[in-house]
């Protein structure tokens, strides 16, 4: 990391502006963000001056030697154009005395909002009101001190930038590029409200899938508890069943959740295909619920993988359980006592071999899907490879998981004992949706359907939707 920070990030200067080729950039404030920013700027070949209220208080060696330390006014005056405000927004007022020095300069507001759901102007908009003669640009607040220090190779590279001043924004965009970031122009200063809360959001794209996974787990767990523990205890007087809550029931619910979630990943795509077939065009937006669902497929897939992996680990632990050991030794003891031997059941042997093999293979393919959904891996694949893995292998994983479930159920699903209190076993409930998804996918593969779908996806539209045809139709009917 030390090497990263000493070597310039870019040997070439990308700026087309002479002022920016060796600009002096000022950073007001000498805290954590200021230090990391100064280090990154210096390593990008930029001259830096840091402005502090009290230079003497800065311990020697805190900033690189190349960084000049001045009082706030001296630093602001020395800045060629860009001045970063690395202080909290409540202290912006203390800079009002520097208005004239900062006039005409680009002020970069790096602050974050204090909390979500704050109404009124953003920090950047308030800064623009305080310094009307400066060009206020919002940016760099989504980058942490760690990301600034880890160099150009690690950490997030995206920097969101907005401003009402095109010139100010252009300069900050150039500087961000020179520092090795990927700046994203978010438009005018009102966008600062959204940018300022970005860092406060807690996994925004994960909340829906996580809640759904949790609810599904709760459903299967409660169902299994009623069917296998509570009702037998109350109605049949079965005792000593509650130990199943800790491991057995969790291990029954996890694969059910994994299977249903995996089916939901592919159900979204099927819905989209059916909507396009029904509309006869791909140029109409999907309803927002379907759009959201489609965008959450990656998260759903990863959660399905997590549940399946946990199921695998729980299953491997099964023989270690005291209950399993107790049952095995007791069964062996009874057989020895009765002088009998467990007969070789060819069908049961095949069943357990196939059931385990499909489960292991399904988990293996799922892990491949999970790995390719990591951006650094996914980015190395072209579109065809990515869809082959995510769609082709995804359906293979779904099929193997269904087979794992069905081999587990085997003929047991058709026995009356499998339905105590008229409640079907968990695995049977969990297999319904995946089977529907798989059958629907087969339906879409029918040549007459798949050829229409691929024509729609290449831009063909039915007469009902084609704007050219409609225009012609209106002209023929004499409508101007």
- Considering only residues 15, 24, 112, 198, which one is a binding residue for ligand NAP as defined by CB under 6 A? 112
Nearer Cβ to ligand NAP, position 28 or 369? Answer: 28
Half-sphere exposure (CA, 13 Å, Cβ side) for 22? 0
- Give helix 346-372 / helix 394-409 axis angle, nearest 10°: 150
**Rounded to an integer, what distance in angstroms lies between the CA atom of residue 34 and that of residue 28?**
7
Q: How many CB atoms lie within 10 A of CB 136?
A: 26
Instruction: Look at residue 204 and give its three-state secondary structure.
Output: coil
- Considering only residues 44, 78, 134, 141, which one is a binding residue for ligand NAP as defined by CB under 6 A? 141
Closest approach of ligand NAP to the CB of residue 54, in Å: 6
Torsion, Cα 268 404 215 299, to 10 degrees, reads -50
Closest approach of ligand NAP to the CB of residue 149, in Å: 10
Q: Determine if 110 is a binding residue for ligand NAP (CB under 6 A).
A: yes
Q: Binding-site residue total for ligand NAP (CB under 6 A)?
A: 20
Half-sphere exposure (CA, 13 Å, Cβ side) for 178? 25
Closest approach of ligand NAP to the CB of residue 90, in Å: 8
Nearer Cβ to ligand NAP, position 88 or 419? Answer: 88
- Considering only residues 26, 75, 87, 265, which one is a binding residue for ligand NAP as defined by CB under 6 A? 87
Q: Are 177 and 168 in contact (CB under 8 A)?
A: no
- Considering only residues 76, 86, 192, 430, which one is a binding residue for ligand NAP as defined by CB under 6 A? 86
Nearer Cβ to ligand NAP, position 142 or 390? Answer: 142
Return the H-helix or E-strand segment holding 47: strand 47-52
Closest approach of ligand NAP to the CB of residue 93, in Å: 8
Contacts of ligand NAP in 36-65 (CB under 6 A) = 52-54
Residue 415's Cβ-count burial label (10 Å; 0-12, 13-18, 19+) is: exposed
Q: Are 385 and 197 in contact (CB under 8 A)?
A: no
Instruction: Provide DSSP, 324-340.
Output: HHHHHHHHHHHHHHHT-
Q: Are 25 and 79 in contact (CB under 8 A)?
A: yes
Closest approach of ligand NAP to the CB of residue 321, in Å: 47
Instruction: Report the relative pairing of strands 158-163 and 135-138 from DSSP bridges.
Output: antiparallel
Task: State how far the alpha carbon of 341 is from the alpha carbons of 59, 169, 333, 336, 349, in Å.
Answer: 81, 83, 11, 8, 16
Nearer Cβ to ligand NAP, position 111 or 401? Answer: 111
Mask for 364-403, x = binds ligand NAP (CB under 6 A): ----------------------------------------
Mask for 232-271, x = binds ligand NAP (CB under 6 A): ----------------------------------------
Nearer Cβ to ligand NAP, position 144 or 391? Answer: 144
Stretch touching ligand NAP by CB under 6 A, among 139-147, 293-301, 436-444, 452-460: 139-147
- Considering only residues 94, 324, 450, 475, which one is a binding residue for ligand NAP as defined by CB under 6 A? 94
Stretch touching ligand NAP by CB under 6 A, among 137-145, 166-174, 277-285, 313-321: 137-145
Closest approach of ligand NAP to the CB of residue 96, in Å: 11
- Among 94, 55, 96, 46, CA closest to 74: 55
DSSP class of residue 391 equals I
Placement of tokens 């399946």 in the chain: 308
Closest approach of ligand NAP to the CB of residue 356, in Å: 49
Stretch touching ligand NAP by CB under 6 A, among 140-148, 217-225, 394-402, 468-476: 140-148
Closest approach of ligand NAP to the CB of residue 131, in Å: 15
Q: Determine if 150 is a binding residue for ligand NAP (CB under 6 A).
A: no
Nearer Cβ to ligand NAP, position 144 or 281? Answer: 144
Task: State how far the alpha carbon of 228 is from the alpha carbons of 45, 215, 232, 315, 425, in Å.
Answer: 68, 19, 6, 19, 9
Q: Which residues contact 312 (CB under 8 A, 6 or more apart)?
A: 359, 360, 363
Q: Determine if 149 is a binding residue for ligand NAP (CB under 6 A).
A: no
Return the residue nearest ligand NAP (CB atom). Answer: 31
**Rounded to an integer, what distance in angstroms lies between the CA atom of residue 393 and that of residue 371?**
13
CA angle 121, 124, 127 (to 5 degrees): 95
Mask for 3-42, x = binds ligand NAP (CB under 6 A): --------------------------xxxxxx--------
Task: State how far the alpha carbon of 374 is from the alpha carbons of 164, 204, 259, 381, in Å.
Answer: 36, 18, 21, 11
Nearer Cβ to ligand NAP, position 38 or 370? Answer: 38
Beta bridge pairs of residue 323: none
Nearer Cβ to ligand NAP, position 159 or 254? Answer: 159
- Considering only residues 24, 145, 150, 391, which one is a binding residue for ligand NAP as defined by CB under 6 A? 145
Beta bridge pairs of residue 51: 28, 70
Using CB under 6 A, list all residues that contact ligand NAP. Answer: 29-34, 52-54, 86-88, 91, 94, 110-112, 141, 144-145
């Amino acid at each position: 990391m030390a090497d990263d920070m000493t070597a310039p990030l870019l040997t070439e200067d990308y700026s087309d502006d002479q002022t920016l080729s060796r600009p002096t950039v000022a950073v007001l404030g000498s805290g954590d963000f200021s230090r990391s920013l100064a280090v990154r700027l210096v390593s990008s070949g930029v001259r830096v001056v840091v402005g502090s209220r009290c230079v003497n208080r800065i311990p020697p060696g805190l900033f690189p030697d190349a960084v000049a330390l001045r009082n706030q006014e001296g630093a602001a005056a020395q800045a060629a154009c860009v001045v970063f405000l690395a202080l909290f927004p409540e202290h912006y007022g203390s800079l009002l005395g520097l208005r004239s020095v900062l006039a005409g300069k680009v002020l970069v507001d790096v602050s974050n909002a204090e909390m979500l759901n704050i109404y009124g102007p953003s920090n950047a908009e308030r800064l623009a009101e305080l310094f009307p003669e400066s060009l206020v640009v919002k940016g760099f607040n989504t980058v942490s001190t760690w990301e600034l220090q880890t160099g150009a190779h690690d950490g997030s590279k995206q920097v969101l930038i907005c401003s009402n001043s095109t010139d100010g924004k252009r300069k900050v965009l150039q500087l961000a590029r020179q520092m090795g970031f990927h700046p994203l122009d978010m438009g005018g200063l009102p966008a600062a409200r959204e940018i300022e809360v970005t860092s406060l959001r807690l996994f925004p794209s994960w909340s829906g899938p996580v809640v759904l996974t949790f609810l599904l787990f709760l459903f299967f767990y409660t169902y299994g508890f009623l069917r296998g523990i509570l009702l037998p205890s109350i109605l049949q007087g079965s005792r000593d069943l509650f130990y199943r809550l800790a491991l057995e029931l969790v291990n029954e619910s996890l694969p059910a959740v994994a299977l249903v979630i995996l089916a939901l990943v592919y159900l979204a795509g099927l819905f989209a295909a059916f909507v396009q077939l029904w509309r006869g065009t791909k140029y109409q937006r999907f309803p927002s619920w379907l759009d959201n669902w489609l965008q959450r497929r990656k998260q759903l897939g990863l959660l399905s993988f997590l549940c399946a992996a946990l199921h695998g680990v729980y299953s491997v632990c099964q023989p270690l359980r005291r209950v399993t050991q107790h049952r095995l030794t007791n069964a062996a003891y009874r057989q020895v006592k009765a002088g009998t031997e467990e007969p070789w059941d060819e069908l049961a042997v095949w069943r357990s071999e196939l059931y385990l093999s499909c489960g292991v293979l399904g988990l293996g393919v799922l892990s491949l899907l999970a790995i390719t959904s990591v951006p650094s891996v996914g980015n190395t694949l072209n579109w065809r490879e990515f869809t082959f893995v995510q769609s082709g292998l995804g359906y293979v994983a779904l099929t193997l998981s269904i087979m794992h479930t069905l081999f587990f159920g085997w003929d047991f699903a058709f026995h009356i004992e499998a339905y105590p209190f008229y409640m079907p076993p968990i695995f049977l409930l969990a297999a319904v949706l995946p089977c529907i998804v798989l059958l629907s996918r087969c339906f879409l593969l029918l040549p007459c359907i798949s050829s229409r779908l691929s024509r729609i996806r290449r831009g063909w539209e039915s007469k009902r939707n084609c704007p050219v045809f409609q225009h012609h139709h209106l002209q023929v009917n004499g409508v101007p």
